[in-house]
Amino acid sequence: MTTKISYAMACLLGAAMIFLGARFFFAPDAATAGFGIHYNAGGDHSFHYIKGIRDIFSGILLCGFVLLKQRQAVGVTLLAGTIIPVNDMLVVLSKPYNSVMQAMPHIIAILICAVFGLLLSIAKPGKATL
Neighbours of 27 (CB within 10 A): 13
Residue 126 has pLDDT above 70, yes or no: no
Closest CA to 6 of 126, 115, 127, 95: 115
* CA 129/CA 16 separation, integer angstroms: 22
Gyration radius of the chain over CA positions: 16
Residue 127 has pLDDT above 80, yes or no: no
* CA 94/CA 105 separation, integer angstroms: 15
∠126-81-62 over CA atoms, to 5°?
A: 50
Q: Do 89 and 110 meet the contact criterion of CB atoms below 8 Å apart?
A: yes
- 28-32, 76-80, 117-121: range with lowest mean pLDDT: 28-32
Q: Do 48 and 32 meet the contact criterion of CB atoms below 8 Å apart?
A: yes
Q: What is the pLDDT of residues 12-53, one digit of tens each?
A: 999 999 999 999 999 998 898 888 877 777 888 888 899 999
- The pLDDT assigned to 66 comes to 96
